[in-house]
């Protein structure tokens, strides 16, 4: 009985201690029920709960989907970049071709045609001016020889214009010029024959061919020269329109190609980062190569187009526009020089030929001003100023010619036909040589700009496609092994 009395009392099992502080607990209330991951009685570190198989499969599927989408997006962006860059290259190259070799050269020929026609009419007047006198600074045989040279130059320019006419209006004007030139040439033959019939006449006597000369001059200045001027305007507008359109297209498509290239580069870099976060591989060599290659190709390809576009501007605005103004100035000076001869030959039309000369003087001054507003290249300003100074001297010589012609026609004849320094024809040559030097300088830079632009674009229509294919291939080579890994683990 005593043994039973001393038995230890029965006590309640200890209550579990409070869970860690991360479980919600309020004073006076029971602590939140511990989760299965917490085992207070064992005191061991909790083990991670394995993910369900469905979650693993979903993650693998998402990774494969992203990688496949990256391959497709890379191919699309690379193709867009190649197509846009090729289109920009074609536009810039077409613009350089038009300005440097095509319609630009045709415009120069049209100016040459105008000058050759004006020179023909001047030499026709000179044949009557000098007659059979051999004591002047110029002879009738020289005038006829120069006429034939100018006739050949005009025929050659017409052949070029006929072959390169791009509009129906230009073709019609060229055909009209050919017909009228034949008519004028026939008149010139009649004038030469009629003038040769006069026996050793005095210079003061009017040539029997003066009336026919008036007909020829009217045909030249009312029909031939205005038609040549219209042809020149049509060709000039064609060059301007082609330049503006091609340069705008080159800029537009190059900008779109640059945008596509930047997106392509970002996509490749983003794919690299995505693979790092999923596979914990620091570098994917193929994707790294594709990313670097994309940056290089995008920068050099679009840079080549923008460089060619700048060279196109130099060729057109800086050089060609000056060549156009200068060659037309040369032609007008040629025609103005003919006005002097016609003024001396046909006294009854002094006022008409004097007004014509004054009108051409205004046009020439305006063209000089146009050139001085477009001075661009080294040495151009000095050369243009020298030509302008020579022309100002020539204008003073014209005033001197008209002054001495009032009282000494023989001295005026000798002064206007002489090629000695200080005489009118010598000064006229200095003007033409000066203008030709400035035009040659601008032609040289136009050629350099055209060649530089074409060199920058060389091969890029093919390189853009090859580079795009290479980038897609490198990207796929980097992504394909990862796709296989995730497919095997599916």
pLDDT score of 140 more than 60: yes
Helix/strand/coil for 226: helix
Percent of the chain with pLDDT over 70: 83
Measure the CA–CA gap between 253 and 289, rounded to whole angstroms: 26
Do the Cβ atoms of 345 and 213 come closer than 8 Å? Answer: yes
* Residue 50 pLDDT: 53
Q: Kindly give, in sequence order, each residue whose CB lies less than 8 Å from that of residue 487, ignoring residues fewer than 6 positions away.
A: 64
Q: Is the pLDDT of residue 78 over 70?
A: yes
In whole angstroms, what is the distance from residue 430 CA to residue 312 CA? 32
Residue 15 pLDDT > 70: no
The pLDDT value given to residue 55? 46
Comparing 156 with 383, which gets the higher pLDDT? 383
Separation of first and last alpha carbons in the chain: 74
- Higher-pLDDT residue of 118 and 15 is 118
Taking 60 as the threshold, does the pLDDT of residue 34 lie above it? Answer: no
- Return the higher-pLDDT residue of 37 and 106: 106
Sign for the pseudo-dihedral over CA of 264, 266, 269, 271? negative
The C-alpha atoms of residue 205 and residue 182 are separated, in whole angstroms, by: 30
Count of alpha carbons within 13 angstroms of residue 184, beta-carbon side? 27
Q: Which of 56, 57, 36 is nearest to 46 (CA)?
A: 36
pLDDT score for 21: 47
Give the C-alpha separation, 104 to 323, whole Å. Answer: 10
What pLDDT is stored for residue 79 in this prediction? Answer: 95
Rg (CA), the chain: 44
- Using alpha carbons, select from 436, 445, 164 the residue that is nearest to residue 313: 445
Q: Is the pLDDT of residue 436 over 50?
A: yes
Residue 26 has a pLDDT of 46
Structural contact between residues 299 and 79, judged by C-beta atoms closer than 8 angstroms: no
In the three-class reduction of DSSP (H, G, I as helix; E, B as strand; rest coil), residue 375 is classed as coil
Note the pLDDT of residue 366: 95
Cα distance between residue 179 and residue 113, in whole Å? 15
The predicted pLDDT at position 487 comes to 61
Number of H helices, E strands in the chain: 14, 0
Structure confidence at residue 44 as a pLDDT band (50, 70, 90): low
Four-point Cα dihedral 394, 400, 406, 409, nearest 10: -70
**Which of 170-182 are b and which e, b meaning 16 or more Cβ less than 10 Å from the residue's Cβ?**
beebbeebeebbe
Whether the Cβ atoms of residue 128 and residue 213 lie closer than 8 Å to each other: yes
Find the helix packing angle between 140-164 and 103-130, rounded to 10°: 160
Cβ atoms of residues 323 and 446 within 8 Å:
yes
More reliable by pLDDT, 165 or 73? 73
**Residues 371, 326: Cα–Cα separation, whole Å:** 7
Give residue-wise pLDDT tens across range 162-215: 777 767 888 888 899 999 999 999 999 988 888 777 544 544 566 678 888 999
Closest CA to 113 of 72, 175, 81, 159: 159
The token duo for 68 is 């496949």
To the nearest whole percent, how much of the chain has pLDDT over 90?
55
The pLDDT of residue 318: 94
Residues shown for the chain = 490
Check residue 320 and report its DSSP letter. Answer: I
275 vs 435, which has greater pLDDT? 435
Query: Which residue is listed with tokens 């130099």?
Result: 314
Does residue 7 surpass a pLDDT of 80? Answer: no
> Which of 49-58, 190-199, 323-332, 449-458 comes out lowest in average pLDDT?
49-58
Residue 112's alpha-carbon distances to 6, 385, 447, in angstroms, are 140, 23, 19
Whole-angstrom Cα distance, residue 63 to residue 203? Answer: 103
Q: Is 285 exposed, middle or buried (0-12, 13-18, 19+ CB in 10 A)?
A: exposed
């Amino acid at each position: 009985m005593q043994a039973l009395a001393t038995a230890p009392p029965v006590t309640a099992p200890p209550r579990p201690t409070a869970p860690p502080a991360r479980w919600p607990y309020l004073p006076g209330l029971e602590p939140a029920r511990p989760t299965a991951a917490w085992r207070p009685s064992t005191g061991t570190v909790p083990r991670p709960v394995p993910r369900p198989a469905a979650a693993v499969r979903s993650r693998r599927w998402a990774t494969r989907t992203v990688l496949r989408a990256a391959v497709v997006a890379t191919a699309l962006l690379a193709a867009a970049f190649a197509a846009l860059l090729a289109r920009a290259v074609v536009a810039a190259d077409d613009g350089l071709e038009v300005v440097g070799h095509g319609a630009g050269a045709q415009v120069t020929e049209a100016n040459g045609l105008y000058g050759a026609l004006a020179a023909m009419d001047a030499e026709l007047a000179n044949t009557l001016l000098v007659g059979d006198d051999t004591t002047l600074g110029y002879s009738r045989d020289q005038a006829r020889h120069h006429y034939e040279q100018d006739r050949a130059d005009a025929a050659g320019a017409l052949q070029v214009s006929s072959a390169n006419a791009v509009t129906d209006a230009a073709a019609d004007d060229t055909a009209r010029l050919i017909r009228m030139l034949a008519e004028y040439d026939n008149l010139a033959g009649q004038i030469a024959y009629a003038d040769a019939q006069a026996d050793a006449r005095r210079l003061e006597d009017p040539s029997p061919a003066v009336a026919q000369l008036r007909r020829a001059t009217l045909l030249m200045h009312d029909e031939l020269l205005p038609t040549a001027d219209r042809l020149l305007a049509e060709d000039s507008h064609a060059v301007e329109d082609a330049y503006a359109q091609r340069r705008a297209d080159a800029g537009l498509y190059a900008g779109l190609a640059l945008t596509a290239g930047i997106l392509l580069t970002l996509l490749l870099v983003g794919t690299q980062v995505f693979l790092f976060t999923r596979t914990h591989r620091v570098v994917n060599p193929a994707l790294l190569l594709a990313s670097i290659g994309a940056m290089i190709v995008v920068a050099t390809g679009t840079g080549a187009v923008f460089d060619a576009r700048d060279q196109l501007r130099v060729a057109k605005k800086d050089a060609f526009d000056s060549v156009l103004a200068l060659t037309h100035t040369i032609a007008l000076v040629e025609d103005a020089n003919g006005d002097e001869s016609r003024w001396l030959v046909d006294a009854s039309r002094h006022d008409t030929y004097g007004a014509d000369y004054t009108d051409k003087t205004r046009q020439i001054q305006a063209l000089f001003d146009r050139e001085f507003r477009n001075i661009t290249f080294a040495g151009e300003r000095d050369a243009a100023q020298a030509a302008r100074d020579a022309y100002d001297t020539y204008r003073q010589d014209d005033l001197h010619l008209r002054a001495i012609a009032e009282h000494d026609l023989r001295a005026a004849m000798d002064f206007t036909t002489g090629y000695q320094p200080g005489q009118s024809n010598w000064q006229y040559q200095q003007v033409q040589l000066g203008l030709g030097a400035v035009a040659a300088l601008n032609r040289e830079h136009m050629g350099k700009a055209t060649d530089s632009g074409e060199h920058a674009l060389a091969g890029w229509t093919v390189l853009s496609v090859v580079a795009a294919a290479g980038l897609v291939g490198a990207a796929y080579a980097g992504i394909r092994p990862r796709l296989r890994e995730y497919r095997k683990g599916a």
